[in-house]
């Protein structure tokens, strides 16, 4: 079974959508209304309990495998309702209004659940990390109801053939370029080659390969061109991206050993197959422009001079004051602040905290400036955009996107506090979605947009990364971090040091 969740601000529009589909049927829930108008009015009554809550709508979709049919009888409607009730209880919506609507317009039988996050006692359902909670709940429902496990298409390691590709193979006996590349890559990776060996083998088979690498070892992506058809690794499937080749196909990669060899192999092909060809296949025109901006060539001396002029000059005499302000106001550990300062990712400009925005190559492009009132400002030409970012050590497996550096660092600390085994993660703070390294993020298995769902910034980021997951805290991540610290201070004796030790153990790239 597959489950998806979306949060929103308006019940009427959501209800019009789910009940406006052909063959849509309202089969149950906890409400009396039967039409979008009646249900919206009923939701509005409970909404008066929390009039200032903007993101009040929870919209979940649950679908089963195409081989399973649950919609054919009243008995199966009751089964769907039981599944919905168990799902909502596990998601902590057992004291909330919700309506269940069944759709039969696709090959996968599915239901839509439209619910209010406002509890009938005036509380609000906490939606922090609800994606993970939903996945655990779905796995349990599959066991309880003996349902097939369905892997979402964006999580499969090999993209399935399209209907057109099936027809082409059946009628003409010809495999599509996508299938040819998948089969060839599967064959060439059987003996676990190194990344340069893998690239060279493909070139020998007439496949043009483009690999983008940054100076810090991050991959900007891999793409393939066969018979003048260019496809990105993402278009072939998760196992054919730069990181997927290592994880699923056993291709080995070591930055120090392989980067020079890969760059040498790329050189003859660079003029024959410009990066923009891949971008045009992978992104819409507006997205391609953003990707081109983010992968700009190294700055010329004149550009560097301009970059320096738009970043505040460091004032080391003010560092202790800024450091103390960040520690007191935002509960950021001194050890972490000193670590960021030692890398010049954080410094004092006049009496303000300056967080450096930089490319994945490590080039400082501009700055996020935090004043004492808690407001961030930036001054930069669009061509010099870049996020603030830090990454824990190791092969990056996931990314978490926040709306500013303080939020990004707070999430890092929360995750370090709650998990000793968190995967190597890239934490980004952005002002606008165009600062995102799109190609790199598309290579990752897991991308989290940790910005309130009603924010225009979150919507812009999700438009560029449609397979990312939204996480919506009730308050800022820094407020959540401060609450955790306060709880720990109340529960841990002063002579205990586990928290301090965890902070000291954080290693950043």
346/31 Cα distance (integer angstroms):
52
Classify residue 109 by burial, with Cβ atoms within 10 Å: 0-12, 13-18, 19+. Answer: buried
pLDDT of residue 353: 93
Q: What average pLDDT does the segment 383-388 reach?
A: 76
The helix (run of H) or strand (run of E) holding residue 263 is helix 255-270
* b/e sequence 164-173, b meaning 16+ C-beta within 10 Å: ebeebeeeee
The predicted model scores a pTM of 0.50
Both structure tokens of 42:
């009923």
For 271-297, what is each residue's pLDDT tens digit? 344 334 433 343 333 344 434 433 444
Whether the predicted pLDDT of 323 surpasses 70: yes
For 39-59, what is each residue's pLDDT tens digit? 999 999 999 999 888 889 999
Q: What average pLDDT does the segment 248-254 reach?
A: 88
497/507 Cα distance (integer angstroms):
18
Whether the predicted pLDDT of 183 surpasses 60: yes
Beta bridge mates, 366: 357
Sign of CA dihedral 277, 279, 283, 284: negative
Higher per-residue pLDDT: 471 or 418: 471
Weakest mean pLDDT among 120-124, 149-153, 202-206 = 149-153
Whether the predicted pLDDT of 357 surpasses 60: yes
Whether the predicted pLDDT of 170 surpasses 90: no
SS3 state of residue 98: strand
Higher per-residue pLDDT: 455 or 428: 428
Q: What average pLDDT does the segment 380-387 reach?
A: 67
Range list of β-strands (E), 228-324: 229-232
């Amino acid at each position: 079974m597959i489950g998806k969740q979306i949060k929103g601000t308006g019940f009427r529009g959501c209800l019009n959508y789910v009940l406006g589909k052909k063959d849509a049927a309202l089969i149950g829930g906890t409400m009396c209304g039967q039409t979008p108008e009646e249900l919206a009015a009923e939701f509005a009554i409970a909404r008066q309990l929390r009039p200032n809550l903007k993101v009040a709508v929870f919209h979940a979709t649950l679908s089963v495998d195409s081989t399973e049919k649950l919609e054919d009888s009243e008995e199966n409607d009751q089964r769907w309702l039981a599944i919905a009730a168990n799902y909502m209880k596990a998601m902590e919506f057992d004291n909330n209004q919700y309506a269940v609507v069944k759709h039969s317009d696709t090959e996968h039988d599915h239901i839509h659940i439209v619910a209010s996050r406002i509890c009938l006692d005036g509380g609000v359902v906490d939606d922090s990390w609800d994606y993970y909670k939903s996945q655990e709940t779905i796995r349990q429902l599959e066991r309880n109801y003996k349902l097939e496990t369905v892997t979402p298409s964006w999580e499969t390691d090999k993209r399935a053939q399209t209907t057109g590709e099936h027809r082409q193979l059946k009628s003409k006996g010809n495999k599509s370029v996508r299938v040819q590349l998948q089969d060839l890559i599967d064959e060439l990776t059987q003996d676990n080659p190194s990344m340069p060996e893998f690239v060279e083998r493909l070139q020998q088979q007439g496949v043009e390969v483009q690999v983008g690498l940054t100076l810090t070892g991050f991959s900007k992506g891999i793409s393939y061109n066969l018979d003048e058809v260019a496809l990105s690794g993402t278009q072939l499937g998760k196992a054919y991206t730069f990181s997927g080749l290592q994880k699923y196909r056993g291709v080995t990669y070591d930055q120090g050993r392989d980067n020079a060899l890969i760059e040498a192999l790329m050189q003859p092909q660079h003029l024959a197959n410009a990066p923009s060809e891949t971008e045009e296949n992978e992104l819409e025109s507006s997205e391609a422009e953003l990707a081109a901006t983010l992968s700009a060539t190294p700055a010329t001396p004149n550009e560097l001079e301009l970059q320096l002029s738009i970043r505040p000059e460091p004032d080391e005499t003010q560092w202790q004051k800024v450091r103390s302000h960040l520690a007191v106001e935002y509960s950021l550990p001194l050890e972490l602040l000193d670590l960021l300062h030692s890398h010049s990712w954080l410094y004092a400009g006049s009496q303000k905290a300056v967080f450096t925005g930089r490319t994945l190559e490590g080039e400082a492009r501009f700055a996020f400036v935090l004043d004492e009132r808690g407001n961030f400002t930036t001054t930069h030409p669009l061509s010099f955009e870049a996020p603030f970012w830090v990454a824990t050590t190791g092969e990056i497996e996931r990314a978490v996107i926040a709306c500013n550096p303080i939020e990004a660092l707070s999430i890092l600390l929360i995750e370090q506090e709650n998990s000793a085994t968190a995967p190597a993660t890239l934490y980004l703070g952005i002002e606008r979605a165009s600062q995102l390294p799109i190609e790199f993020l598309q290579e990752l298995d897991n991308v989290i947009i940790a910005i309130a769902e009603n924010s225009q910034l979150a919507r812009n980021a999700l438009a560029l990364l449609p397979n990312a997951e939204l996480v919506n805290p009730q308050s800022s991540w820094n407020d959540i971090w401060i609450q955790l610290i306060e709880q720990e201070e109340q529960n841990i004796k002063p002579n205990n040091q586990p928290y301090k030790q965890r902070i000291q153990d954080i290693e950043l790239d």
